[in-house]
Amino acid sequence: MSSTTATPSAGLPEKPTPKPRRHRGLTIIGATLLIAGLGLLGFYLWDAYLNPVMDTKAAQQQVDEVKKGWAAGRTPAPTIPDNAVGLLRIPEFGSDFEVAVMTGTSPYALSVGVGWFESTAAPGQVGNFAVAGHRGASGPFVPLLDLKPGARIIVETRDATYIYALTSSAADLTVDKKETWVVNPVPERPGAEPAGPKQPTERLITLVTCRNFFHSPERSVAFGELIETIRK
């Protein structure tokens, strides 16, 4: 009696060996992380380079309105929120850099110029004249962290032009947005001696912007002092 060997049925493919489920899980996790990473990168690129944080057309209109008002003998009221009260120039940003100084730091004010913290001193006055500006795609303070001590900040009002020189770099000071001491009349870190508020004796300027191009809870801050006043 001859023996026979069982062979696979002709025409029927062999069943593939199932892959371990662990490998499949790692693949899903990797794909999820890749998608999340691409999403974060896309958000960063949009917020840093495409998000129109400043309406450039409206910003130029604010500059033009300030100059027209001065030519007509009008002095803008600094107590009206979102009112353009002056012009700010930074020569190192280019000969054509010029933005309006707006009363207050509302979203509108920061979308058409730089915002003047209303509780701080007026331009050229004793105390701390503090302003904030966006970075992002079209913000006026995009290159602020590149400025070095000695850089000139020019603020013009109807009556005078005030020239400040930076005494510090915004790249060297980062604070949480809740740290309001930077806009005090005498900006000193809490705990400085003697304790308590001081009476200002100098004419200072403070420039505030986001630490990063996109929305950030941190602020970069530069300080300066008045070095020249040119009366009109």
Strand partners, 80: none
Domain boundary among 11, 32, 50: 50
- Which pLDDT score is estimated for 196? 57
* Cα distance between residue 220 and residue 197, in whole Å: 23
Strand partners, 207: 131, 222
Report if residue 194 sits inside a domain: yes
Q: What is the pLDDT of residues 191-210, one digit of tens each?
A: 755 555 678 999 999 999 99
Within the chain, which residues score under 70 in pLDDT?
Answer: 1-52, 137, 192-197, 213-215
Q: What percent of the chain has pLDDT over 90?
A: 63
Domain shared by 62 and 31, yes or no: no
Using left for φ > 0, alpha for ψ between -120 and 50, and beta otherwise, residue 73 falls in: left
Q: Which two tokens stand for residue 202?
A: 């100098």
Report if residue 12 sits inside a domain: no
Q: Which has the closest alpha carbon to 158: 72, 98, 70?
A: 70
Domain shared by 175 and 215, yes or no: yes
* Burial bucket for residue 8 (CB in 10 Å: 0-12, 13-18, 19+): exposed
Domains held by the chain: number: 2
Domain around 127: 52-231
DSSP tag of 92: G
Q: Are 137 and 51 in contact (CB under 8 A)?
A: yes
Report if residue 223 sits inside a domain: yes
136: domain CATH number is 2.40.260.10
Q: Are 124 and 226 in contact (CB under 8 A)?
A: yes
DSSP tag of 170: G
- Which pLDDT score is estimated for 54? 80
Q: Which two tokens stand for residue 189?
A: 């870190």
* Cα distance between residue 62 and residue 108, in whole Å: 12
* Cα distance between residue 194 and residue 187, in whole Å: 13
Domain shared by 127 and 171, yes or no: yes
Cα dist from 56 to 59, 157, 192, whole Å:
5, 21, 41
* Cα distance between residue 227 and residue 166, in whole Å: 10
H or E stretch at 34: helix 21-45
Domain shared by 39 and 101, yes or no: no
Domain shared by 42 and 64, yes or no: no
DSSP tag of 138: T
Domain shared by 40 and 107, yes or no: no
Domain shared by 26 and 70, yes or no: no
Report if residue 115 sits inside a domain: yes
Report if residue 3 sits inside a domain: no
- Which pLDDT score is estimated for 33? 59
Domain shared by 58 and 98, yes or no: yes
For the chain, first and last CA: distance in Å?
124
Cα 192–195–201 angle (5° rounding)? 80
